Structure 1
Amino acid sequence: MPSFYDPYVATSLPTDVSYVSSYWTANAINSCDHNAAALPEQAEIVVVGAGYTGLSCAYELSQRYNRKVVLLEANQPGWGCSSRNAGFVLRGTGRLGLSQLKARFGLEQAQLFHQEYGLALQRLKDLVAAGNIDCQAQTPGYLKIAHTVKQAQLLQQQAERLQRDFAYAVSFLDQSALQGCINSPGAFGALRLPDCYGINPFLLLRGLAGLAERSGVKVFANTSLRAINHTGAGYQLTTSAGSLHCEQLVLATNAYTPKNILPELNRGCLPVLSSIIVTRPLTASELSACGLTPGFMAMDTRALKYYYRLLPDNRLLFGGRSAISGADLAKPQYPAQLRQALWQTLPALQGIDYQYHWAGWVGVSYDDLPRVAQTSEGIYYAAGYCGSGISYSLLAGQRLAEKLMGETLPPLPLYQSPLQPFPFTRGRRLAQYAYYQWAQFADRFLS
């Protein structure tokens, strides 16, 4: 694997870098020409980052508010998270479930979170319909699988609370019932969420880019932001393609934000690597041996979770946390660890190798919740989805546009404060390494 961009140490994003080589991009046409025209000297609104959040925000500003928007992307649209994720459309974001949100903020606030996350799912559906986007949406139904007996008991209690407190039509599958969904020695029960499903994230990304451009958004690819100078009457932006001045500025770069671009965002969003492998297409007998059926999608209850899904062509996607730094990612131990975890999860696939491996950064917030916020100098941003942002990132883009236009947002912590800075910012990676060691111990002996 070539040198890997690491936002923890890099001061700027490189340009003219191809999409990561992945299952999603293997058969896609990657050539684009979003920056055929010269960069303008003036712009009303500039959005930096043409991933899900930036595209959703730019589209909303142009389509709903009739504002003139310039969208800057260091490489091609969605080069970061939006073209690298596993395609899990979930009702939620961050790392806090509804029960945890209830414990932290109270039942009324947790119910409002649940409502907001439902709006995120609807936002995705609305954009897909508006752009007539075929993103290979699979049959809804997502399993949170207990990897120990103790975790199965906790999931059963969680199902009861979700049904009672949120009227959420989840169901609990005991170990016997779960055998009809997956044949795994590490599956002791599961929580089934009825409104979550898998998609092809790259097809969604391409569809959203086309939708934004048709609405009037001017997209400039291969244009990396190098510096921001607050002028008092706006912002003077230095980019790899020249400079321009804008009245209002949105950073939708999340985990891919270079180190020195916006210190507040850097201190409050830790970039963490997640890796994915994809097998060859499985045969009918292999699928039967694993108990897998079309649309299968799951994540386990480990502190360092594994997530996996059956793709439309019967390949199995399997992902989890990876190296600490970008420099370490090239080591073959990381995809090998995923392959071993796959074999342990589904022993019927023992010996089956992967055909694709790639990785990307997710933005982890200190308090496990994302934010849609504004800095003291008036720069708007959304970040900190903690690796579960497909549906919510699209709603975050909408909320960013609404906040920029002076609308009142729902009374949720997501919108009432900026990202909290990590303590001992320079030692975050050492702390991350220590957490990974503890989590491995806890997953094995304490959960």
Structure 2
Amino acid sequence: MYDPLLDKEPGVGSPYPQSYWFAKQAGPLSQHPSLNDDITADIVVIGAGYTGLNAARELAERFSQQVVLLEAHQPGWGCSGRNAGFVLKGTGRLGPLQLAERFGIKQAKACYAEYQHAFELVDALQQRGRISCQRQAPGYYKLAHHPRFLAPFQQQLEFANQQLGQSLQLLSPSELQQQLPDQQAKGALFDPDCYGLNPLELVLGYADMAKQAGVTLYGGSPVLSWQTPQGLHRLITPQGSVRAKKVLIATNGYTPKNFHPLLQGRLLPVLSSIIVTQPLTADELARCGIQGQPIVMDTRALKYYYRLLPDGRLLFGGRGAIRGRDADKPRYAAQLLAALKRSFPALQQITVDYQWSGWVAVSMDDMPHLYQAPQDSPYAGVSYAAGYCGSGLSFSALAGQRLAELAMGQSIPLLPCYQQPLRTFPFARWRRVGQRLYYQWGRWQDQRR
């Protein structure tokens, strides 16, 4: 499997992963042609995921720019088409209370307002683009895998409800068992608004909207080299090139090694793996006891997350291999299945029909960042958005809009994630060593009582 920490190129025109989302497509997916000429544009966007597609659409639709969008494979091939489909009111790894502790209540409120805007934008885009993405009934449980998390949950609830106007609920173990009898959970924080959907259908809908706005989208066209003669960027693909004054990088967790100095050493690509079971029988559904079709995540350092899908299957995900070449080894799917069965002992006979993995981008400070190089910089005209830490489905759509506004000289909210570049990892070449040590620490943390 492509490994962005090791590979300098993402490949060309690879097929979509054999995921549950891909299997549920009604027919063959559109294949966008590769760039096979030398062309010019006002702006080039690199990466046809949630961020890149929304940035490109905004630039073409709102600012009347001639936009070329380059994708190494096809829209949604990366994390945008592989994730679990959780539509959350947040991003990164910091909740509102943690943001307040780090930046103060005023900034925490401003960040949350932006996250709420992103959450609402995803809904608006679904309606506007008539995107049918199997949206499910709302309900999000953040599970406490140990009683020590219940006190912090109470603090989070009080802050969110009193300061941010949310309507979170804290569920005791007995209350939780009536709604979601996960045998590993000791209570939960419940958000009645967040929901699940089909992430691949969503990104393909975004692609259709971008094309309708006038974006020229090329698939099978990775950027293999990047030249900047006299301040004009020339991006070279396998069969062509494109020149433009401005370039937006929206490759996030799939950014190749040494792709651009602005991102060098600033992201840690981490594999998240997902299994999807066979459809549960009526008896299994009754014994498992899940009410509705909620989305669920726990408090482990190495988190598990799951949801009941519209056809009665269970999707269950968590951290997988460290290296790309190990991603498809059976033991990682087996570990996820064992964890699922610990949560739902009544499902001991359940089997797995689908398994896949994808890269998420972790930042040094647990926050995403949007950044534009200064005009007096060698990289003038280049901007990026990256570092969603595996929680970017909602925020990435708004990040694309903000990235477009930034490129066009518009003012954007004065938030921490918009004011500074991504921080460089210390001893960046040893990031994988640090990741291994963190995983060992995380397993110890998750098992301690």
Does TM, normalized by the shorter one, top 0.5?
A: yes
Aligned equivalents of 2:429, 2:66: Cα separation in 1: 39
Indicate the residue corresponding to 1:190 in structure 2.
188
Correspondence for 1:172: 170
Q: SS state of the match for residue 281, structure 1?
A: coil
User: 1:264·1:421 contact (CA, 8 Å) conserved in 2?
Assistant: no
Q: CA deviation at 1:141?
A: 1.2
Contact 1:39/1:220 (<8 A) preserved: no
Q: Matches of 2:32 and 2:89 in 1, distance apart?
A: 32
Aligned to 1:414: 417
Deviation per residue, 1:344-389 (Å, 9 max, x gap): 1111111211110000000000000001112341211100000000
Matched, 1:16 2:20: no
Name which of structure 1's ranges 138-147 and 36-45 shifts more when overlaid on structure 2: 36-45
The alpha carbon displacement at 1:261 in A equals 1.2
Q: Deviations over 1:319-359 (max 9, x none)?
A: 00011110122322111110111111111111211110000
Give the Cα–Cα distance (whole angstroms) in 2 for the partners of residues 11 and 286 of structure 1. 46
Task: Spell out the pairing of 1:297-446 with structure 2 (5 A cutoff).
Answer: 297-375=295-373, 376=377, 377-378=379-380, 379-445=382-448
Does the alignment pair 1:7 with 2:14?
no
- Comparing 147-156 and 65-74, the one that deviates more: 147-156
| Gaps in structure 2 of 5+ consecutive residues | none
Following TM superposition, the consecutive aligned residue runs of length 4 or more in structure 1 with deviations greater than 3 angstroms are 36-40
The one of 128, 139, 142 equivalent to 2:126 is: 128
Q: Which residue of 1 aligns with 2:238?
A: 240
**Deviation of 1:257 (Å):** 0.7
Question: What residue identity is the alignment partner of 2:116?
Answer: G
Structure 1, 161-170 or 248-257: larger mean CA deviation: 161-170
Q: For residues 37 and 361 of structure 2, what CA distance do their matches in structure 1 show?
A: 29
Aligned partner of residue 244 in structure 2, secondary structure? strand
Give the Cα–Cα distance (whole angstroms) in 1 for the partners of residues 364 and 28 of structure 2: 35
Q: Aligned-pair distance for 1:194?
A: 2.1
Distance (Å, rounded) in 2 between the aligned partners of 1:383 and 1:49: 11
Local SS of the residue matching 2:245: strand
Aligned-pair distance for 1:30?
Answer: 4.0
Number of aligned residue pairs: 443
> For residue 14 of structure 2, what is the amino acid of its counterpart?
V
- 1:226 corresponds to which residue? 224
Partner SS state of residue 300, structure 2: coil
Deviation at 1:125, TM superposition (A): 1.5
Runs of 5+ consecutive residues of structure 1 not aligned to the other structure: none
Distance 1:113 1:278 in 2: 34
Q: Distance in 1 between matches of 2:64 and 2:39?
A: 20
Q: TM-score, normalised by structure 1?
A: 0.97
1:379-424 deviation digits (Å, cap 9, x = unpaired): 1110000000001000000000000011111010111010000000
| Mapped partners of 2:36, 2:120: distance in 1 | 36
The separation in 1 between residues aligned to 2:428 and 2:225, in whole angstroms, is 21
Q: Provide the C-alpha distance between the structure 2 equivalents of 1:176 and 1:80, rounded to a whole number of angstroms.
A: 40
Q: Secondary structure at the match of 1:249?
A: strand
List per-residue Cα deviations over 1:252-271 (Å, max 9, x = no partner).
Answer: 00010110211331311110
TM-score by length of 2: 0.96
- Say which SS state the counterpart of residue 353 (structure 2) adopts: strand
Residue 54 of structure 2: which of 56, 62, 71 is its match?
56
Say which SS state the counterpart of residue 16 (structure 1) adopts.
coil
Give per-residue Cα distances to partners, 1:46-71, cap 9 Å, x unaligned.
Answer: 00100000000000001111111000
Q: Is the 8 A contact 1:90 1:196 kept in 2?
A: yes
Distance in 1 (alpha carbons) for counterparts of 2:66 and 2:205:
20
Identity level (%): 50
**Which residue identity is paired with 1:10?**
D
